Structure 1
Amino acid sequence: MGSSAGGNIAYHVGLRAATTVQQLEPLNVKGLVLHQPFFGGNQRSKSELRLINDPVLLPIVSEYCNPTVGSGSEEVERVKLVGWKVLVNGCDGNPLVDRQSQLAALMEAEGV
């Protein structure tokens, strides 16, 4: 489980753990809880643009990390193969709610 930046960390630790399930025994992971995970992307989302003056957001020229691009869906396949469930939640007031929705949509599309 992780909240905000901790949700990002929990996501990436979960991806790594999904490749080593047998080595983790007797620990039996059942899933991940990502509470308003903090992810970004190269293009600003509508929720980020709507809150552009929010001091919590990085300047427009900053780089981001987005799990829904690149090999993101391939990595999520590992989570599906080990049978984990993933809960992603967010709220409309969060400038990253669009990213959180994209992550939930990726998980659903991959059958997780």
Structure 2
Amino acid sequence: MEKTPAVSEKGKTNAIISYITFIGTIIAIVLNNTEKNSFTSFHIRQMIGLSLLSILNSLIISNYVSYIAGTIISIGLLVLWIIGFMGVMKGEEKKVPLLGDQFQEWFKNI
């Protein structure tokens, strides 16, 4: 967890927007493209990873593996979302547990 020295209000606002559904993530990407902000980019990468896991869980795990497994994974993803959102609110670049490092690596071009 890194404390970002100077998080601009615009960067923080765009990072918050990224946590508001997948559409919010897309809006944050568009807003961040005009004026790159490393804090916003960090949280966009975290949220893209969580969104993709959520979609994967909804389409595959819940439908083809087990409804109970899908529900448990959904609760876990909600907890990870809360951890990420709390990081935004505190102005921290806090990676979500387990996969946060991978999200940063996989989506480093964002």
What is the TM-score with the length of structure 2 in the denominator? 0.32
* Structure ranking higher in helix proportion: 2
Taking structure 1 as the reference length, the TM-score comes to: 0.31
